[in-house]
Amino acid sequence: MFSTICPGQWVPTSGPAGGFIRNFLFDGNLVYAATGGGVLVSADEGVTWVFRNSGLTSCDTKSLARLGSYIYVSTDENVFRTDDHGLHWEAAGEELNGKYIKTIVTSGQVLLAGTYLRGIFRSPDSGATWTAVNSGLSAKYVYWLTTDGPNVYAGTYLNGLHKSTDLGDNWSAINNGITESSIMTIHSFEGKLYASTLSSGTFVSADSGAFWSALGASLSSVKGFTTFKGNLYAGSYGGGVYKSTDSGQTWVAINAGLAETDLWAIGCSDSTLFVGASSGHIYRSTDEGSSWVLCNSSNTFKAGNGSLALSGSTLIAGSHGSGLFTSTNGGASWIKTTTIGTVEIRSVISNGSLVFAGTDMLGIFKSTNGGSSFVACNTGLSSRWFQAFAICGSQVFAGSGEEGVCASSNSGGNWISANSGIGSTQIQSLASDGANLFAGTADAGLYLSVDFGMNWNPVNNGLPSTNITALQLISGILLAGTKADGIFISDNNGTNWFPASNGLPAQSNIRCLCVYGSMVFAGTDSGEVFASYDGGNSWNSVSNGLSGSPVLSLCVSGNYLYAGINAGGVWKVLLSAITGIEKTGEKAGIFLYPDPGSQEITVETDPACADRDLLIYNFSGQVLLKQRQEGIRTKINISFLASGVYFIRSYNKEGVQIRSFIKE
């Protein structure tokens, strides 16, 4: 066994760039902005901005609200709150942990949160506890929540507008007159409601949503409204800022000073208007929109990269909230892909030049040119949320966050459901050795299929966690990362599991696993990368110089290990700087001699593990010899091996053991 790691120095790549200012909130002397890189805060009416992200485990922030002494921000994995102006954030309750919260709103002393896939939740106690309130609401994607006082309104993607008169206990559709079912934003102003749709313009209602009529003015793709000094303003994607001085009857564009018109948010303080662009820039106006000034050019920020893949020499980074990027020069520069119609990339996998990307609401996209361009490939799919991929045999498998596993035998040409026997529809991770297929779920543990997804069986003996966040295979060993219990390993396809967290912090939340040759790397929620040379039995931190948390993804390309960081872009470290090894005697419970050896070695192992296989493999993970253990001592002929360093895998009562040896 060997475990000493030479210290390496991580360095950031040039990106990928973050972006997307999504929401503003004014609270006393502070202005908050929810962005793809966390929460920006300004104490001087937007002249300067600083990030305040401490405590956020996701910086893909969506929506802001205020209730009592708390400021709330929603993210793609929880709602967080702060009572010290954003200096420290904490999770607001446990019920929303792991859920994608698109929008939050307050109504009186109640908080409501709209999610993707899980409906609407309500909290009566400042976010301490949440309960689902979805009677009459079947929408998968709740995009926007607002209130006019007595009523709460929910705008959804694909399912139109809904209204509740009892704080969410019951919902009813209110789409009379609206010609499209995808709602982008809703705003209450002077007794009227304004609702913007994805592609059919803006509608207005004067009777609390009972009937809607098209707004006379042509406002393109409005992302948000705000009220400022008695007038109505709209920020649009593609059209910049519009202003109405007559309650929305007529509008004029007011874009003087705006260098970009792809806006995603609009808001105001008592004296200043703000708009946020897809680039991540914020503009401010102190003259009611007559002129605009860029005010956060120095606050450039990077994306949170939740998935990394390699297609040839091209590194592919899928981000949470900022799109998909490729780099052909080791991260020195990044190119954003423009052919995927959403910014939420939940997973990426490559097989040569064939690349699949799973998104949050538009399904699966496929590239046949190494990630340069993509086309949607959703034939046969009913779900549009995919967050895991695996290739098993000649088939591609995709894990949905809502409808289990789907399979394609023609490179994504069409898909079929492959769920028979799986006890959960929430698939978080997939892995395959070519014959066996494994699926990790969010709430029911791990499942195995030995017939290419036709049937599944649970394989959780010894595995205490039901939330499987990451899966990897190395030389016949299956590793499973969990949300709060570290890592477990199995040498028999999940039939039995052993803990494998020696060296990891207690109750580690494992965000990602990556295999390179005979090494395994793990990224954690606390922002550390760990390396194991012994199949996961022991781990060492290789995080020197790495900044940001959590570590969301890992990938090896060329001479580097790459890590995708929450709101930190992609970092890299030379493999040669972290893969130095040093034998540590006989700590592994596996003894062999002579070492070095030339013709034959003798292996001594735990007598309780007789009749188990010994495996010898090389640095690439290729198994070169399999031999049955013969009680305590087993003689192995190594004369056929070329000179070099090899690994032998055995077992004792502690689980899987791996040790290196030298062939002379």
- CA atoms of 566 and 549, how far apart (whole Å): 6
Exposure string for 384-394, b = 16+ CB within 10 A, e = fewer: bbbbbbbbbee
The region of weakest confidence among 87-96, 511-520, 627-636 is: 627-636
What's the DSSP call for residue 608?
Answer: G
Identify the pLDDT of residue 578. 81
- CA atoms of 538 and 501, how far apart (whole Å): 6
Same domain, 383 and 521: yes
Q: Is residue 284 part of a domain?
A: no
Q: Confidence band (pLDDT; 50, 70, 90) for 621?
A: low
pLDDT at 641 over 50: yes
Which among 220, 227, 224, 221 is positioned nearest to 244, based on CA atoms?
A: 227
Residue ending a domain, among 532, 552, 578, is 578
- CA atoms of 534 and 647, how far apart (whole Å): 9
Q: Is residue 153 part of a domain?
A: no
Average pLDDT of the chain, as a whole number = 91
- CA atoms of 584 and 503, how far apart (whole Å): 15
CATH of the domain at 658: 2.60.40.3080
pLDDT at 48 over 90: yes
Identify the pLDDT of residue 649. 77
Same domain, 572 and 603: no
Same domain, 506 and 437: yes
Cα separations in angstroms, 285 against 255, 279, 288: 10, 18, 6
Q: Is residue 80 part of a domain?
A: no
User: What would the pLDDT profile of 214-253 be if each residue is shown by its tens digit?
Assistant: 987 778 789 999 999 999 999 999 999 999 999 888 999 9
Q: Per the structure, how many domains does the chain have? A: 2
- CA atoms of 53 and 36, how far apart (whole Å): 12
Same domain, 544 and 595: no
What is residue 337's three-state secondary structure? coil
Stretch 451-458: mean pLDDT, rounded? 95
User: What would the pLDDT profile of 91-112 be if each residue is shown by its tens digit?
Assistant: 999 999 999 999 999 999 999 9
| pLDDT over 90 percentage in the chain | 77
Helix and strand element counts for the chain (H, E): 1, 63
pLDDT at 584 over 50: no
Residue ending a domain, among 557, 578, 599, is 578
| pLDDT over 70 percentage in the chain | 94
User: What would the pLDDT profile of 7-21 be if each residue is shown by its tens digit?
Assistant: 469 999 999 999 999
Stretch 65-70: mean pLDDT, rounded? 96
Residue indicated by tokens 């102003």: 189
Same domain, 518 and 604: no
Same domain, 566 and 533: yes
166, 172, 176, 179 alpha-carbon torsion, rounded to 10°: 120
Single-letter code of the amino acid located at 205: S
Give the predicted TM-score (pTM) of the model: 0.87
- CA atoms of 203 and 179, how far apart (whole Å): 9
Identify the pLDDT of residue 476. 78
- CA atoms of 154 and 152, how far apart (whole Å): 7
Q: Is residue 174 part of a domain?
A: no
Q: Are 237 and 220 in contact (CB under 8 A)?
A: yes
Which among 56, 13, 1, 12 is positioned nearest to 34, based on CA atoms?
A: 56
Q: Is residue 373 part of a domain?
A: yes
Same domain, 562 and 598: no
Which tokens hold the place of 537?
């039995």
Listing DSSP states for 512-534 in one string gives: EEEEETTEEEEEETTS-EEEESS
- CA atoms of 182 and 556, how far apart (whole Å): 40
Same domain, 345 and 455: yes
Residue ending a domain, among 555, 578, 601, is 578
Which among 318, 326, 329 is positioned nearest to 372, based on CA atoms?
A: 326
CB neighbour class for 241 (10 Å; exposed up to 12, middle 13-18, buried from 19): buried
- CA atoms of 478 and 465, how far apart (whole Å): 15
Same domain, 555 and 610: no
Stretch 331-340: mean pLDDT, rounded? 96
Identify the pLDDT of residue 335. 96
- Name the residue with higher pLDDT: 491 or 196: 196
Q: Confidence band (pLDDT; 50, 70, 90) for 492?
A: confident
Q: Is residue 24 part of a domain?
A: no
Which tokens hold the place of 427?
């698939």
For the beta carbon of residue 354, count every other beta carbon within 10 angstroms: 18
Same domain, 596 and 641: yes
Give the gyration radius of the chain's Cα atoms.
27
CATH of the domain at 436: 2.130.10.10
What are phi and psi for residue 309, nearest 5 degrees?
Answer: -150, 165
Same domain, 444 and 317: yes
Measured in Å, how far apart are the chain's first and last C-alpha atoms? 19
Pairing of the two strands 633-637 and 600-604: antiparallel
What is residue 23's three-state secondary structure? strand
Identify the pLDDT of residue 519. 83
Residue indicated by tokens 């690439």: 620
Identify the pLDDT of residue 398. 98
The region of weakest confidence among 164-168, 241-245, 552-556, 599-603 is: 599-603
Q: Is residue 524 part of a domain?
A: yes
Listing DSSP states for 317-380 in one string gives: EEEBSS-EEEESSTTSS-EE--SSS-SBEEEEEEETTEEEEEESSS-EEEESSTTS--EE--TT
- CA atoms of 527 and 647, how far apart (whole Å): 30
Stretch 326-352: mean pLDDT, rounded? 95
Listing DSSP states for 573-594 in one string gives: EEHHHH----B-TTTTS-EEES
Q: Is residue 13 part of a domain?
A: no
Same domain, 494 and 638: no
Single-letter code of the amino acid located at 166: D
Domain assignment of residue 614, given as a range: 591-663
Which among 34, 21, 100, 95 is positioned nearest to 63, based on CA atoms?
A: 34
pLDDT at 582 over 50: no
Note the residue count of the chain.
664
